[in-house]
Structures are given as C-alpha cells and as structure tokens.
Amino acid sequence: MQTDYQQNGYSLKRQFFTDHELDVVEPILRRFHSAWIEQNRDHYNHQAINSAYITHADALSTPDRQKLFNFIAMDKLVSVARDIIIMGPAFMNTQLFFNPKNSEQKNYWHRDIQYRPDSVAKQQELLKLKTILHFRVPLANEPGIELVPGTHLHWDNAQEFETRMGESGRKPSDDLPSGKALALNRGDLLVFSANMIHRGLYGHNRFALDIIYSDADPELLEFVDPKCLPEPNMLKKIAHPDVFTATQQALNLP
C-alpha cells in the first residue's frame, strides 16, 4: 500500500510535537528573527517572507545551536524522514516563514526546483529522481500551505504551468482548482516535497520553522554552508548525528 507521501507528496501529522518540545526552541527562533529583522530591515520592509541559515555558528549561541540541532534530529522527526528517504536523509538547511510586512502582498505558486538554472526538460527529469523535503513546524496557528497533490511526481497541466510562470494572463497568486489548502496549528507537522507545486498562505501570526532534508546528493546540497552544521562536540549530544554527517560526507567536508 502506498503511503500518504508516496501518493500525494505530503504527509500531515496533527499534534506531532508536545508543547514542551516547541517551548524549548521557540524563544531561540524568536531571538533569531528579531536580530534578522534588525540586520535586514530594508528587505523585511519591502518583501521578505522568510529567512534561512538559522543554525549558522555566527547566528546563535552555542547552547542555543545545540538545542536547535537536538530538535532537528530528534528521534520521531528523523524516523519520518527515513520512511520517505530510505537511503538516509541529509540535513540541508532551515528557514523561518512569517507574514510579509505589507498585508496586500500576494503569495505565489512555485516548485522549489524552478529556481535552479535547469531547463524545464531537466526539471521534469529531476522530479522523479531527487527528493527534497520541507518539514514545516508551525509555532503558531497559521493558514498553512496550499499544495497540488501528486505533483511531486507529475508535471503541471497547462493552467498550473501558466499560473506558476505568470504567463497567458495568469498571475502566480491566482487560485488553482487543483489546490488543496492545509491549515496548520501549533504542534502539527507537515512534511511536503519541495518539488511539488505549492504556495504559502499568509495571515494570522504565522511563524513557522521549516527543516529541510534531502537525499545525500552533492548536487542538491551544493549551497549548504558548513557553518550551519554542528561541530564534533555537538554531534556527540545529538540523537541522530548521521543526518548531519551524511551532509558532510556528500560534500567531502572534513
């Protein structure tokens, strides 16, 4: 029998995290966010909806990084990642998603692979070969994510493609009849393929951590900043250090 993920490209697990688990990391993420806004004021004021590289050695104190790494590689989360990436997931990055400052700003349908410098033919080929997963961890209730089920494996129909590309009079924010909106609550976990057609739904006080895991593939991991990975003494305290060492090995890092 196919799993939810295999069939639809996503898996939604309600009340996956305890309050305590979230309470440990939320203050760290909020501190990061305040500092990030200070350093990126112009971008934040004009269009930002996310930040990244939260685990960078220059971004957090050592105890805060350790707590965040412990969260990212906790047993039950890595177990979900392993069920999907059977060969073993590799840590790619982290992102924080928040509302645009301008409440009129529109969201946009996309596949993450469309931002790579690959032809459409190559993107279609990559779809079936490479897995990148977003683990969305909402810290507050949010309108969530809208996605087009099954598009982790199949290409767009004409309307989906024109919308995503903003062609033939369509805008990337136009509704798609094939879209499925998944409202999320604090405590839920949504795992979805970065390859599939999706868009963020802005509103409420959204503040979500996305943990990104992928195949241990150097091509996918090429933009990993080594300073976002745990140092050897931190690895020893993590439940599943292999998700980080997989990244180091794929990139031939010391």
Instruction: Catalog residues that contact ligand AKG under the rule CB under 6 A.
Output: 49, 97, 112, 134, 145, 194, 198, 200, 210
Q: Which two tokens stand for residue 246?
A: 């997989």
User: Strands, DSSP E only, in 67-179?
Assistant: 90-98, 132-138, 142-147
Tokens of 54: 């939260």
In 3D space, the residue among 141, 36, 54 whose CA is nearest the CA of residue 94 turns out to be 54
Q: What's the min distance (Å) between Cβ of 198 and ligand AKG? A: 6
CB of 202 to ligand AKG, least distance (A): 7
Minimum distance from residue 230 beta carbon to ligand AKG (Å): 23
Token look-up 């604090």 returns 186
Q: At what angle do helices 19-39 and 62-72 cross, to 10 degrees?
A: 130
Could you write out the DSSP letters of every residue in 34-52? HHHHHHTHHHHHHT--EEE
- Minimum Å distance from CB 121 to ligand AKG? 23
* Secondary structure (3-state) at 131: coil
**Which is closer to ligand AKG, CB of 190 or CB of 238?**
190
In the bound state with ligand AKG, the residue whose beta carbon lies nearer, of 137 and 246, is 137
- Which residue, 176 or 238, is less far from ligand AKG as judged by CB? 176
Instruction: Work out how close the CB of 51 gets to ligand AKG at its nearest, in angstroms, rounded to a whole number.
Output: 12
Q: Which is nearer to ligand AKG, 164 or 198 (CB)?
A: 198
CB of 66 or CB of 178, closer to ligand AKG? 178
Residue sitting closest to ligand AKG (CB):
200
Residue 172 makes CB contacts below 8 A (sequence gap 6+) with 106, 108, 109, 110, 163, 164, 165, 166, 199
